Structure 1
Amino acid sequence: MHRKYREENMLSFGAAVIAAVALGATLSVDALSVAMSIGARMHGKLGYRNYGAAIFWFTAVHILMLSSGFLLGDALAGIINGVGPWISFTLLGLVGGTMIRSALKDDVEEENLMSIPPLTWKTLVPLAFACSIDAVAVGSSLGLSRNLPFGLTIICVALATIIAVACGLYAGNKAGEKWEKPAEIVGGIVLVFIGLKSFV
């Protein structure tokens, strides 16, 4: 009987791991796209410190949003669901529009725009917030249903975000190095599209 109980627990834990990994992958899709866009703006000049800063802030904000939803529940989720799409669209639209404008200007104006550090915390935190709003609703659902262990979910979401941001920055940086302005234009369009997608 004890052996059967342990086997059932192992199966339920295995299912929880699979569900948490799938959830982490789902929540990190927007982070991957945004990371590719901001990587493209670097035009091949992405350094290790840039990787570290982006990975840290995106992961920290994702965990904070997920934890906030889990702890505060429906009240916070209701507020975020009401204003979240507008916040996301505004933030991503502004950055995406700046990228497109930067790529279409002549060299002097582009240099002035590029002099603004694109990977400081002042830029990264709003972008991370804009693409992690869904995590509040997910956290709220987890808090109410208790279907998944919260610690396991946090670990899986954090790992998925780290991988997504690192891969996105690398791919975007390589594209920006090779195609420069076209890659930056596409990156800006992607950011605007993600902002619009938040209304769906």
Structure 2
Amino acid sequence: MEWSVLFFLNSIAFGVGLAMDAFSVSMANGLNEPHMKAGRMSAIAGTFGGFQIAMPLIGWLCVHTIAVQFKAFQRFIPWIALLLLAFIGGKMLYEGIRKRTGEEETPAVGFLSLMVQGIATSIDALSVGFAIADYPWSMALAEALIIGIVTFGICIGGLMIGKRFGTRLSDKAQILGGVILIAIGLEIFVRGVL
């Protein structure tokens, strides 16, 4: 593969495709925290973008070092994503249902939950490492950076949409966010198993 317009278009297309799960989770986070500030939005979108950069590079490194073991791991990716997102979504759903009227604001998604979301939504990007295995390191890095930048932008959009509806849905937002995360986990699982 050579540097070309096609390379950049392909990278952007990979970024859009891989960012859809992170977009949906970002919307759920926006629903969960409708008064989120710009700095926090950047941190959340940056987390998703960072994982989308790291995972293809990890996949690329695996192909060049431990390809046989990584192929065996690939069949567990849908299960891992389902378990992680179902756990976080179930927790949000539970907290939203038991929330008492009188509580002021839904608690923000914590650091650990955000890391789990980042892993769960980007774990399928490991397989991109196989698709770009023939690329030299510089091109693999460029592709991963483009994917991360596209993901960042898409996640900012998801957070903004979620925030807008979160203020309108107020007390139901956390429940809806939990349902969305569980649905995304199921979708990743079904897509990965079939």
Interval of TM-score (by shorter of Structure 1 and Structure 2):
0.7 to 0.9
**Which residue, out of 7, 11, 35, partners 1:45?**
35
Tell me what 1:6 maps to.
Answer: none
Tell me the TM-score normalized by structure 1: 0.82
- 1:96 matched to 2:89? The reply is yes
Aligned partner of 1:19 among 10, 23, 41: 10
Deviations 1:71-104 (A, max 9, x none): 1123454244232222211111111112222222
Q: How far, CA to CA, are the matches of 1:193 and 1:104 in structure 2?
A: 17
* Counterpart Cα distance in 1 of 2:84 and 2:105: 17
Identify the residue that residue 177 of structure 2 maps to in structure 1: 187
Please provide the CA RMSD for this pair: 2.5
CA distance in 1, matches of 2:104, 2:69: 40
Instruction: In structure 1, list runs of 5 or more residues that go unmatched.
Output: 1-8
Q: Deviation of residue 49 (structure 1)?
A: 2.7
How many pairs does the alignment contain?
Answer: 185
Which whole-Å deviations, capped at 9, do the CAs of 1:29-87 have from their partners, x for residues lacking one? Answer: 11100100111011x22012311221222122111111100111234542442322222
Matches within 5 A, 1:1-200: 13-42=4-33, 44-73=34-63, 74-75=67-68, 77-107=70-100, 111=103, 114-115=106-107, 117-118=108-109, 120-143=110-133, 145-146=134-135, 149-199=139-189, 200=191
Cα deviation code 1:83-133 (max 9, x no counterpart): 22222111111111122222222416x949944x41x32111110100101
Query: Matched residues in 2 for 1:94 and 1:36: separation?
Result: 17
Q: Contact 1:80/1:136 (CA < 8 Å) preserved in 2?
A: no
What TM-score, normalized to structure 2?
0.84
Distance (Å, rounded) in 1 between the aligned partners of 2:105 and 2:169:
18
1:1-39 Cα shifts (integer Å, max 9, x gaps): xxxxxxxx7xx7111111111111101111100100111
Q: Contact between 1:53 and 1:121, CA under 8 Å: does it hold in 2?
A: no
Distance of 1:85 and 1:112 partners within structure 2: 36
What is the identity percentage for the equivalent residue pairs of Structure 1 and Structure 2? Answer: 25
Structure 2 segments unaligned to the other structure (5+ residues) = none
Tell me which structure has the larger Cα radius of gyration.
Answer: 1
What residue identity is the alignment partner of 1:30?
A: D
- Does the aligned pair in 1 maintain the 2:52–2:144 contact within 8 Å? no
* Local SS of the residue matching 1:149: helix
